Amino acid sequence: TIRAALDLNYPSDKYDITLIEDAPDNNSFQDLCEELGVSYLHRENRNDFKAGAVNYSLPKLKGEYVFFIDADHIMEKNVLYNCLLSWRQDTIAVQSRIDFVNTVNMLTLVGAYLQVQFFSLFQRARRATGSAVFAGGGAGSWWAG
């Protein structure tokens, strides 16, 4: 995931990468971050899971926009451009779609099917009705700072 983030089709001087680790008493990725030249934040607990990590890190991150991605996702090269193209002045968040490439067993196949349903049906209905649903676990979360 970090290597894919380092290889995005976006000017490297226009974005920073920060890994947020929330494994108690474990800084297992700190050395890798130093080796790859990315920032590292560690929180001592997993309270509120991803939402807790987001809330912990937002005050510590710099930049006009913040993009969150789960550790088990790999971004396509143009994801930053695509998210910025979707951004509107009165928007507080943009969520990108996930495509699955590892549908090798029943578990990953069902997961892929559920995600396709979420993005192709539920999110389209949400958009058509002007509703606000933001499922943060769905990778690619932009936030205006």
Identify which of 133, 145, 13, 123 has the alpha carbon closest to the alpha carbon of residue 67.
Answer: 145
Q: What is the pLDDT of residue 108?
A: 82
CA geometry: angle 20, 6, 93, nearest 5 deg: 60
Mean pLDDT (whole number) for 88-93: 76
Q: With 70 as the cut, is the pLDDT of residue 135 above it?
A: no
Helix count (H) and strand count (E) of the chain? 6, 5
How far apart are alpha carbons 118 and 115 in whole angstroms? 5
List pLDDT tens digits, range 34-85: 999 999 999 988 888 888 888 999 999 988 888 888 887 888 899 888 888 8
pTM over 0.75: no
Least confident interval from 73-77, 96-100, 115-119: 96-100
In a 10 Å sphere around its CB, with 0-12 CB exposed, 13-18 middle and 19+ buried, how is residue 60 labelled? Answer: exposed
Quickly state the pLDDT bin for 17 (edges 50, 70, 90). Answer: very high
How far apart are alpha carbons 54 and 40 in whole angstroms? 14
Q: With 50 as the cut, is the pLDDT of residue 140 above it?
A: no
| Mean pLDDT, the chain, integer | 81
Q: With 70 as the cut, is the pLDDT of residue 134 above it?
A: no
